[in-house]
């Protein structure tokens, strides 16, 4: 199995995808005149705007669901892996793909809103929907079916195991518990929520993710303050390493860029095609609103949470760096014991746990038997982050299943849930290497399909941003922007052509804000 996955990953994560993701993000950022800077304040305002309906969730809930998919093991273990393979400079490339990736996130999330539809008594949207409707014809239908099948495979089977593997690894580092016990507990916790639909998932995500993310970033800030004198040198090391100016890491620049982009995309999901599923479920008066909110979620994920992890690892020196072969450029002795008893010196949750243990408990050298505040804190942080990510994965897989079946054969939803739960349990008892490689394969396949699609379908999304900016200027606030696309140029957007205008007319006589929206 490992050999097959390695070969497939070599094809999928080739240079065209790595550098193509950077190029696409740069292209969209230039086309939209670096909207991620110009509209930063508007992103935050829109995030708390309370539009919702019986079939849609609020922008904040959609943000929480998408963040629950973005903020997970990639923010803790993924950062550690990036440092192990690419050294400190990999963090710079994670930052860059997040900044540029906001452009891809805006386009895909706006398209999800434009082409969403009311299905199964709730809004459904995502790449499968906008590929079929936007491209049209037989090609659009076949392309959409392929994406839906790949996404069900990725989010229903390949990716959940990474999250559960990280939970099990951190828990067994901190507590005297077996991997299978963690797996059994996760099966129960996941099963209790996933069959409740998007509202159940959104309620859990909106309660857990923001709260835990703030605490996590807060702990990182404390570590920075405790080591404030090392901050300039640390950032200098990151930037020098990123451009091959640090002699120690000069021989791994290629691996540094590749792993930085790869782990950055895995973490923030910009352009991957997962974020649009939550974006399509939101209730907004203009698609660009949700596009801006989802672009902000990329910042939260990488620039805040991933940076917090990087600071805790790099400032405490608790990490190893591979030389690309069997040796280590940096060897701090940090390792984790796998379910089979092997010692894994690669990028694992042990890096962050050891970093916090050193910061708060004074553990200058790594001791596999020492358990301090850092070990416990990261265990529970990963539990919450990864748990909500697994819930988001189920919703994404379910949305694509509903796209394929149009709500028929509800037994398939139950089977999907069983498949995902089985993947969760398997992840807790499998090796970390195989779990991550399978997840990378799923992410790469989705990214290839989605990036090509948003390049083809970019026009309506870019036009939506221009329309939002025009209305914001005319009405004095983006709050009152309403999307009224031309049926001759934006076809198949049935919700915006028929459903939403009809609702506005029905509500206008009762609600002053709706009358203002309808101007």
CATH number at residue 167: 1.20.1740
Residue 401 shares a structural domain with residue 492? no
| Highest-scoring range by mean pLDDT, 189-193, 274-278, 363-367, 451-455 | 451-455
424 vs 443: CA distance, rounded Å: 17
Is residue 304 scored above 90 in pLDDT?
Answer: no
Residue 396 shares a structural domain with residue 510? no
Residue 388 shares a structural domain with residue 433? yes
Q: Give the residue-averaged pLDDT of 70-95.
A: 84
CB-based contact 121:53 (threshold 8 Å): no
pTM for the full predicted model: 0.84
CB-based contact 66:297 (threshold 8 Å): yes
* Cβ-proximal residues to 81 (8 Å cutoff; 6+ apart), any chain: 259, 263, 346, 347, 348, 436
Residue 361 shares a structural domain with residue 239? yes
Residue 343: enclosing H or E segment and its boundaries? Answer: strand 343-344
Q: Kindly write down the DSSP assignment for every residue of 1-29, as one continuous string.
A: -HHHHHHHHHHHTSHHHHHHHHHHHHHHH
> Is 263 a member of any domain?
yes
Of the chain, the percentage scoring pLDDT greater than 90 comes to 19
**3-state SS assignment for residue 282:** strand
> Is 95 a member of any domain?
yes
Is residue 120 scored above 70 in pLDDT?
Answer: no
353 vs 307: CA distance, rounded Å: 15
Q: Give the residue-averaged pLDDT of 181-202.
A: 78
Q: Which regions of 209-337 does DSSP assign to beta strands (E)?
A: 321-322, 328-330, 336-337
pLDDT value, residue 154: 87
Residue 500 shares a structural domain with residue 429? no
> Is 446 a member of any domain?
yes
> Is 61 a member of any domain?
no
CB-based contact 164:486 (threshold 8 Å): no
Residue 436 shares a structural domain with residue 496? no
**Tokens standing for residue 346:** 């690669």
CB-based contact 438:5 (threshold 8 Å): yes
Is residue 516 scored above 70 in pLDDT?
Answer: no
> Is 69 a member of any domain?
no
356 vs 353: CA distance, rounded Å: 5
pLDDT value, residue 463: 95
Nearest alpha-carbon partner for 290 in 301, 303, 280, 302: 280
Give me the chain's average pLDDT, please. Answer: 83
pLDDT range class, residue 406, cuts 50, 70, 90: confident
Residue 441 shares a structural domain with residue 452? yes
Least confident residue range of 144-148, 462-466, 512-516: 512-516
| Secondary structure percentages of the chain, helix, strand, coil, to 5 | 75, 5, 20
pLDDT digits (tens, 9 = 90+) for 40-74: 888 888 877 656 555 555 666 666 666 665 666 77
CB-based contact 294:489 (threshold 8 Å): no
> Is 322 a member of any domain?
yes
Which is more confident, 185 or 10?
A: 185
pLDDT value, residue 106: 94
Is residue 475 scored above 70 in pLDDT?
Answer: yes
CB-based contact 182:167 (threshold 8 Å): yes
Domain tally for the chain? 2
Could you tell me the CA-to-CA distances from 57 to 66, 274, 399, 479 in Å, in that order? 12, 17, 15, 17
Residue 180 shares a structural domain with residue 319? yes
Backbone angles phi, psi at 272, to 5 degrees: -75, -30
Residue 470 shares a structural domain with residue 501? no
CB-based contact 359:337 (threshold 8 Å): no
pLDDT value, residue 519: 47
25 vs 243: CA distance, rounded Å: 20
Residue 464 shares a structural domain with residue 493? no
Residue 134 shares a structural domain with residue 202? yes
Q: Give the residue-averaged pLDDT of 323-341.
A: 82
Least confident residue range of 38-42, 155-159, 168-172, 477-481: 477-481
Q: Give the residue-averaged pLDDT of 106-123.
A: 87
Backbone angles phi, psi at 329, to 5 degrees: -75, -45
Q: Which domain holds residue 242?
A: 1-46+74-115+122-483
For the chain, how many residues are written?
519
Q: Give the residue-averaged pLDDT of 333-340.
A: 80
> Is 426 a member of any domain?
yes
Residue 196 shares a structural domain with residue 249? yes
> Is 52 a member of any domain?
no
């Amino acid at each position: 199995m490992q050999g097959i996955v390695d070969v497939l990953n070599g094809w999928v994560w080739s240079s065209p995808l790595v550098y193509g993701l950077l190029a696409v993000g740069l292209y969209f950022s230039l086309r939209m005149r670096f909207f991620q800077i110009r509209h930063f304040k508007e992103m935050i305002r829109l995030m708390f705007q309370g539009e919702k309906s019986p079939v849609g969730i609020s922008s904040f809930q959609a943000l929480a669901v998408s963040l629950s998919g973005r903020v997970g093991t990639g923010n803790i273990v993924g950062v550690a892996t990036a440092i192990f393979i690419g050294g400190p400079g990999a963090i710079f490339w994670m930052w860059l793909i997040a900044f540029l990736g906001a452009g891809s996130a805006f386009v895909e999330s706006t398209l999800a809103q434009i082409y969403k539809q009311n299905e199964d008594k709730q809004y459904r949207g995502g790449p499968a929907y906008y590929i079929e409707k936007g491209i049209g014809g037989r090609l659009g239908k076949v392309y959409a079916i392929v994406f839906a099948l790949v996404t069900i495979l990725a989010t229903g089977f390949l990716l959940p195991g990474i999250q559960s593997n990280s939970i099990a690894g951190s828990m067994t580092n901190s507590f005297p518990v077996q991997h299978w016990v963690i797996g059994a507990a996760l099966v129960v916790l996941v099963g209790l929520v996933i069959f409740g639909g998007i509202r159940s998932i959104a309620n859990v995500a909106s309660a857990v993710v923001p709260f835990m993310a703030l605490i996590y970033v807060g702990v990182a800030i404390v570590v920075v303050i405790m080591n404030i004198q090392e901050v300039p040198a640390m950032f200098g090391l990151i930037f020098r390493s990123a451009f091959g100016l640090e002699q120690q890491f000069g021989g791994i620049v290629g691996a540094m860029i590749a792993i930085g982009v790869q782990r950055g995309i895995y973490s923030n999901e910009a352009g991957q095609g997962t974020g649009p599923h939550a974006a399509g479920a939101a209730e907004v008066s203009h698609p660009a609103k949700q596009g801006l909110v989802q672009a902000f979620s990329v910042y939260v994920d990488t620039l805040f949470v991933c940076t917090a992890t990087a600071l805790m690892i790099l400032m405490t020196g608790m990490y190893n760096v591979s030389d690309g072969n069997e040796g280590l450029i940096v060897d701090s002795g940090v390792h984790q014991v796998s379910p089979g008893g092997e010692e894994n010196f690669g990028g694992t949750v042990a890096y962050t746990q050891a970093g916090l243990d050193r910061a708060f408990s004074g553990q200058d050298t790594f001791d596999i038997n020492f358990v301090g505040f850092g070990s416990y804190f990261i265990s529970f942080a990963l539990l919450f982050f990864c748990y909500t990510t697994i819930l988001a994965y189920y919703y994404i897989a379910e949305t694509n299943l509903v796209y394929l079946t149009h709500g028929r054969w509800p037994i398939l939803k139950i089977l999907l849930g069983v498949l995902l739960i089985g993947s969760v349990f398997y992840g807790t008892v499998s090796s970390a290497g195989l779990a991550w490689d399978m997840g990378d394969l799923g992410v790469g396949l989705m990214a290839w399909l989605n990036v090509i699609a948003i390049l083809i379908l970019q026009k309506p999304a870019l036009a939506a941003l221009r329309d939002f900016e025009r209305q914001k200027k005319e009405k004095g606030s983006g709050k009152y922007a309403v999307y009224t696309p031309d049926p001759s140029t934006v076809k198949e957007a049935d919700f915006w052509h028929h459903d939403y205008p009809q609702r506005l007319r029905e509500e206008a006589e009762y609600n002053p804000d709706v009358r203002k929206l309808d101007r």
